[in-house]
Amino acid sequence: MSAPAFESLFRAAGVTGWLYATDIDTGHEVGRGADEPLPTASMYKVALLIALCRQAEAGVLDLAARVTVTAADRVTGPTGLSAMLDDVTISLRDLAYLMIAVSDNTSADKLLALVGFDAVNGMLAEFGLKDTRVVQGAGEMNASMGRDAGHAWPFVDPDDIARLSALDPARANCSTPREMARLFAMIWRDEAASPESCAWMRTVLNMQVWPHRLASGFPYDDVAVSGKTGTLPTLRCESGVVEYPDGARYAVSVFTRSFSTALIQPRADAVIGTAARMAVDHLRR
Amino acid sequence: MLIVDLVRHLRYFVVVAEELHFGNAAIRLGMAQPPLSQRIKRLEEELGVRLFDRSARQVRLTEEGRLLLGEAREIVSRVERLHELARQGRGTVLRVGVPPDLGPTVLAALVAAFRESSPEVRLAPAEIWTADQVTALAEGAIDVGLVRHPVTAPGLRFGQVLVQTQGVLLAEGDPLTGVGEVHLADLAGRELLMPPKEGEPGWHAEVLAECRGHNFVPAQVHEGAGLGMVLAGAAVAFGPRVELPGLAWRPLLGSPIASRVSTAWRAVTAAGADFSAVAVRTLKESAGMSDEVAAPVRRVSRRPGMLA
């Protein structure tokens, strides 16, 4: 049957959208602009999470080792250690939990400093994800916006937003809907790292707190939704996995850019879930 | 060809001629399609004429078939009448109860299949809800029942339990018909049509508990067997897949609603045992029922907001 009417759905929510969804076990797929390189915002943290696990498995890092995060490490962000005031001593795996569950920027940058860009990008190349790369941490992403706009947050002027390099896939962290879904499918198929590491990553990704995007499309007790969001001015996205009661599993990635520069747009958040539901429903027909 | 065989083949011919569709005819006869096709071919050989034109996409009577149809009808009905008279003379009757919402095609298939397997016994079906069947069995008003579980009554014995996964019936204009699969929670705000609570207390309790657990609490539960309320867009109903004008059927995500049925009796009789065996076979073939397997444990996903 023909693909669902994603375009009119996105338009009604005031966004342009790109998406890709695949049945993890059969490979059936549906997409719209699935191979478009797009800025990933905080979704790069998933690649960092996998690289962290692989380094721990290789004996380079110890996930239980503790580090102390001080004011010097703190970067801008509304959640987790970024929002706290005092020094924190914490294990690497708990930093990873904060990085995923509440998208904590300080935790992410602390881990990125330990893992390194080369390890993350080398791993992505090894996975064959040629359009996915990580070139900046959260602190640098925030700093670039201040430099590009010439002033501090908020960035709501359309001219300012047009200048943001953080939104330019050629200069910022980037991926495609298909490749983000593939990263998730690899975690769910135990291919991204060892089965034990993949099981832990699934647990952490399932603890993400945000209910307004992917999860909003599946408001059912018996459907599990795991994922990682990404947000920058006019950019809202989430990639993740939806697990149905019959055991079927779907890796989904949805990117949107809103026409309006307003920061609060519940319909733009919700359309990520609605589009994902439509895609999964299509794959199940 | 023996006379009995010829009459049976003529009956197949009449039903196929009425349906002009081998699949539909096979359902009515309570048999599979390939043997039906074979028997029609065998009859054509016996009579030396082609009865149906099967070259086109649809089945058509040939000129010869059209001429022979009237005669065939006459013979079949006379032989049926003969059997009927003989049966009344012998007086073996099996009184069975079936749920009124079993569906006309299923009941017809059940009667046809039983007639085929036990031609000497006359089947007297009555449409009765489960609770009333239990009473009728206790009073000896019926010999065998076809009941919906959960049901218990002292002294009642059950045949093999079969399961039918149900979907939801919606009015054609309902916005939910746009999706391939409906979750019970999606039905929020709609009213529900169920069989009468007095007649199906176990089913009522089970279905409504399942609905409540899945965030569908119907503002009103209507009782009845007809689907008029659904057609009118005033309620939704659960049931097996059907194609009816004005209605749309959709599977339920997670298959939460499953009806379990079995035959039930108090005293074992040969005819009753035959009916039980025929019922299992026919319900699997004509009503999409399958052997009971342990119900899947309902998994509840964990989302951080649930306890925040």
pLDDT of residue B172: 95
Q: Is A205 inside a domain boundary?
A: yes
SS3 (DSSP) at A232: strand
Percentage with pLDDT > 70 across chain A:
100
pLDDT of residue B125: 94
Please tell me the distance in Å from B254's CA to the nearest CA on chain A. Answer: 5
Which CATH architecture group holds B167-256? Answer: 3-Layer(aba) Sandwich (3.40)
Of B296, B298, B304, the CB nearest to A209: B304
Residues 177-206 of A with CB under 8 A from B: 206
Q: Is A1 inside a domain boundary?
A: no
Report strand pairing: B192-194 vs B236-239.
parallel
End-to-end Cα separation, chain A, in angstroms: 9
Q: Is A94 inside a domain boundary?
A: yes
Please tell me the distance from the alpha carbon of residue B200 to that of residue B197, in angstroms, as a whole number.
5
The CATH number of the domain holding residue A146 is: 3.40.710.10
Q: Which residue positions in chain B have pLDDT lower than 70?
A: 1, 4, 56, 84-91, 296
User: A240 lies in which domain range?
Assistant: 6-283
End-to-end Cα separation, chain B, in angstroms: 78
pLDDT of residue A230: 98
Q: In angstroms, what CA-CA distances link A237 with A16, A229, A244, B236?
A: 11, 6, 22, 36
* Interface contacts (A, B; CB < 8 Å): 58
The domain made up of B92-161+264-288 has a fold known as: D-Maltodextrin-Binding Protein; domain 2 (3.40.190)
pLDDT digits (tens, 9 = 90+) for A99-120: 999 999 999 999 999 999 999 9
Encoded tokens for B91? 């007086």
Report strand pairing: B93-98 vs B290-291.
unpaired
Residue A9 in contact with partner chain B when CB distance is under 8 A: no
DSSP symbols for A145-186 = HHHHHTSPSP---HHHHHT-GGG-TTTS-EE-HHHHHHHHHH
pLDDT of residue B138: 87
- Select the CATH number that applies to the domain covering B3-89 from these four: 3.90.420.10, 3.30.1330.30, 1.20.1050.90, 1.10.10.10: 1.10.10.10
Say if the Cβ atoms of B255 and A284 lie within 8 Å: no
**A-chain residues within 8 Å CB-CB of B255?**
245-246
> Total structural domains in chain A?
1
Q: Which residue positions in chain A have pLDDT lower than 50?
A: none
SS3 (DSSP) at A140: helix
pLDDT digits (tens, 9 = 90+) for B79-118: 877 776 665 555 689 999 999 988 888 999 999 999 999 9
**A-chain residues within 8 Å CB-CB of B254?**
220, 222-223, 244-246
Say if the Cβ atoms of B185 and A223 lie within 8 Å: no
Of A101, A209, A221, the CB nearest to B301: A221
**A-chain residues within 8 Å CB-CB of B299?**
222, 224, 245
pLDDT of residue B31: 81
pLDDT of residue B265: 94
Please tell me the distance in Å from A226's CA to the nearest CA on chain B. Answer: 9
Please tell me the distance in Å from B165's CA to the nearest CA on chain A. Answer: 13
Say what the alpha-carbon torsion angle A261, A264, A268, A272 is, to the nearest 10 degrees: 120
Nearest CA in chain A to B301: A224
Please list the helix, strand and coil fractions of chain A in percent, rounded to the nearest 5, in that order.
45, 20, 35
Rounded to 10°, the helix A105-115/A117-126 angle is: 80
Please tell me the distance from the alpha carbon of residue B155 to that of residue B134, in angstroms, as a whole number.
10
**B-chain residues within 8 Å CB-CB of A225?**
301, 303
Say if the Cβ atoms of B299 and A245 lie within 8 Å: yes
Question: For the stretch A219-254, what's the b/e string if a residue is b when 16 or more beta carbons lie within 10 angstroms of its beta carbon?
Answer: bbbbbbbbbbbbbbbbbbbbbbbbbbbeeebbbbbb
Annotated domain spans of chain B: 3-89, 92-161+264-288, 167-256
- Asked whether the ipTM of the predicted complex exceeds the cut of 0.90, the reply is no
Please tell me the distance from the alpha carbon of residue A188 to that of residue A199, in angstroms, as a whole number.
8
Of A207, A222, A282, the CB nearest to B300: A222
Q: Which of A2, A100, A222, A284 is the best residue to mutate to test the B interface, defined by the most B CB atoms within 10 Å of its own CB?
A: A222
Please tell me the distance from the alpha carbon of residue B186 to that of residue B59, in angstroms, as a whole number.
42
Across chain A, which distance is largest between two alpha carbons, in Å? 56
Q: Is A128 inside a domain boundary?
A: yes
